[in-house]
């Protein structure tokens, strides 16, 4: 009985330490490094997106899964989620490629408007990183990107 009580106390302390460590985790900085068309159909676009995930924490950051949403000039372009099973070193960075999908018709309507906007275009990348099951760290990055290749791709959809 004493061993069972001691075991319960030790497990409670470990659980408490894990909760404290998770609350102290800073969210990663996730930057867009590339966007390439992967597959296009009449109804859906699939883009291969390169991401650089930077970990500001003093401990390695496991990335079990991620969600991502991409906007260009505040127009929603694509979104996705995936199981990545990667690890970002402590205070380091890791490059990852993910697939995102979006509505090809919406892209075809959005890109002509974007073509009139001077480049580079502003993009916004948002989502979550899950270092543990049911634990999500949000991220948001705003930057600029040149997407002339996607404009040509959208023009071919007509």
**pLDDT top residue among 63 and 5:** 63
Residue 152 pLDDT > 80: no
Higher pLDDT, 93 or 23: 93
Ranked by mean pLDDT, the top range of 3-7, 16-20, 56-60, 114-118 is 56-60
Instruction: Report the pLDDT averaged over residues 135-152.
Output: 78
Q: Phi then psi for 157, rounded to 5 degrees?
A: -80, -20
Is 12 part of a structural domain of the chain?
A: no
Q: Which domain holds residue 93?
A: 28-155
Model confidence at 156, pLDDT cuts 50, 70, 90, reads very low
> Is the whole model's pTM more than 0.85, yes or no?
no
The model's pLDDT over 113-142, given as tens digits with 9 standing for 90+, comes to 877 888 888 889 999 999 988 889 999 999
CATH number of the domain encompassing residue 33: 2.60.40.1820
Question: Considering its fold, how many domains does the chain have in total?
Answer: 1
Residue-level pLDDT at 15: 56
Model confidence at 16, pLDDT cuts 50, 70, 90, reads low
């Amino acid at each position: 009985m004493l061993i069972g009580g001691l075991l319960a106390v030790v497990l409670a302390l470990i659980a408490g330490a894990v909760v404290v460590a998770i609350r102290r985790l800073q969210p990663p900085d996730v930057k867009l490094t590339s966007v390439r068309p992967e597959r296009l159909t009449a109804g859906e676009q699939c883009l291969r997106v390169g991401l650089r995930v930077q970990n500001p924490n003093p401990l390695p950051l496991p990335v079990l899964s991620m969600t991502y949403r991409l906007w260009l000039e505040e127009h929603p372009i694509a979104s996705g989620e995936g199981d990545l099973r990667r690890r970002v070193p402590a205070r380091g960075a890791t490059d990852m490629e993910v697939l995102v999908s979006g509505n090809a018709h919406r892209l075809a309507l959005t890109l002509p408007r974007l073509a009139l906007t001077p480049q580079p275009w502003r993009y916004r990348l948002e989502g979550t990183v899950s270092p543990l099951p049911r634990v999500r760290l949000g991220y948001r990055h705003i930057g600029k990107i040149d997407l002339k290749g996607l404009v040509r791709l959208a023009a071919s959809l007509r």
